């Protein structure tokens, strides 16, 4: 029970201190709207393009919302040593890091629904498989958050966290089939797409929104789950190695 009191309060503190701040909320709103607008205009197909753009916009909203926030907040706390306070608390490291990442997962998952809500006013989304969509949004949020954690543990300065985040994020936009199908990529780039977790998240979203998935959904879920476990395990190992010297 005591551990869960700590878990809940870490999550609550992070939500209040970082995620629910007006600049983050506005960023969470503006970013998906801007991306949707950009691809909407570029497609030139009018409102018909909304459904085909939706999976990419949902994925990118989650990716940017989670990775940057978590990487920056953890690096900031590590830098001013307030993170040591958490490491010194009688909570198992695994639970502590789950508490620390839960805020970003929640923030990312909520971010996913902003473009969906906007799309609901502009297109017919009645045929969407909501179960798969919600699950996909949560899985992408978890994978992206753990990627943010991996970045946070690998750097020591806040600006490094930003730079390192972009090193992963921008290639992902073009390699994960967010806006261009993987099949249209040059053949030598395609293997890269399959080692990025977002590829599988986007495939689930495509399946859920317009049945455009290229792999079975269960396989997508399994692979993205594998990425989550792997990223979390590597991050925990790195925390042990780098922060508890």
Partner 1 sequence: MQSKSNNSLIKVRQLTKRFDKLIAVNDISFEVFKGELFGFLGPNGAGKTTTINMLTGLARPDSGSIEISGLDCSKNPKLAQHLIGIVPDESNLYPELTGYDNLCFCASLYGMRKHEREERARDLLEKFGLSDAANRKFAGYSKGMKRKLTIAAGIIHRPEILFLDEPTTGIDVASARQIRQLIANLHDSGTTIFLTTHYIEEAERLCQRIGFIVQGKIVRIDTVISLLQPIQKKHTMVISVLHPDEGLHHKLISEFPEYSIELVSKGQFRIVSEKVINIGPLVRCIEETGGEVSEARRIRPSLEEVFVNITGIELNAMKKEKQKNGRSS
Chain residues in the site for partner 1 (CB under 8 A):
1-3, 5-6, 8-10, 13, 17, 80-82, 84-92, 244-245
User: Cα(94)–Cα(105) distance, rounded to whole angstroms?
Assistant: 16
Q: Select 4 or 167, whichever has its Cβ closest to partner 1.
A: 4
Q: How far apart are CA 205 and CA 54, in angstroms?
A: 9
156 versus 163: smaller Cβ distance to partner 1: 156
Least Å from the CB of residue 146 to partner 1: 22
C-alpha R_g of the chain: 18
Minimal distance, residue 72 CB to partner 1, in Å: 13
Contact 15, 101 (CB under 8 A): no
Q: Which is nearer to partner 1, 80 or 184 (CB)?
A: 80
Please provide the DSSP assignment of 82-127 as one string.
Answer: HHHHHHTSSS-HHHHHHHHHHHHHHHHHHHHHHHHHHHHHHS--TT
Residue placing its CB nearer to partner 1 in the complex, 13 or 237:
13
Q: For residues 23 and 186, which CB has a smaller minimum distance to partner 1 in the complex?
A: 23
Closest CA to 32 of 125, 137, 103: 137
CB of 117 vs partner 1, minimal distance in Å: 30
We find the least distance from the C-beta atom of residue 228 to partner 1, in angstroms, to be 24
Q: Report whether 201 contacts 139 (CB < 8 A).
A: yes
CB of 177 to partner 1, least distance (A): 39
Q: How far is the CB of 176 from partner 1 (least distance, A)?
A: 34
Distance CA 227, CA 130 (A): 23
Nearer to partner 1, 107 or 164 (CB): 107
- Cα first-last separation, the chain: 29
């Amino acid at each position: 029970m005591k551990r869960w009191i700590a878990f809940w309060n870490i999550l609550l503190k992070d939500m209040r201190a970082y995620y629910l701040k007006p600049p983050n909320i506005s960023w969470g709103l503006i970013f998906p709207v801007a991306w949707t607008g950009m691809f909407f205009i570029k497609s030139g197909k009018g409102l018909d393009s909304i459904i085909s753009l939706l999976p990419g916009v949902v994925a990118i909203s989650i990716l940017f919302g989670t990775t940057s926030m978590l990487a920056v907040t953890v690096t900031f706390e590590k830098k001013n040593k307030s993170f040591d306070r958490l490491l010194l608390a009688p909570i198992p490291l695994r639970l502590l890091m789950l508490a620390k990442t839960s805020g970003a997962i929640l923030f990312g998952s909520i971010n996913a629904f902003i473009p969906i809500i906007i799309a609901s006013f502009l297109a017919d989304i009645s045929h969407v498989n909501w179960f798969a969509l919600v699950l996909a949004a949560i899985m992408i949020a978890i994978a992206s958050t753990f990627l943010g954690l991996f970045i946070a543990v690998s750097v020591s300065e806040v600006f490094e966290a930003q730079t390192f985040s972009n090193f992963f994020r921008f290639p992902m936009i073009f390699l994960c089939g967010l806006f261009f199908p993987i099949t249209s990529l040059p053949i030598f780039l395609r293997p890269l797409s399959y080692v990025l977790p977002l590829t599988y998240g986007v495939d689930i979203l495509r399946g859920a929104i317009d049945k455009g998935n290229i792999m079975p959904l269960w396989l997508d879920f399994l692979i993205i789950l594998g990425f989550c476990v792997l990223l979390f395990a590597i991050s925990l190992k790195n925390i042990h190695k780098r922060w508890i010297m």
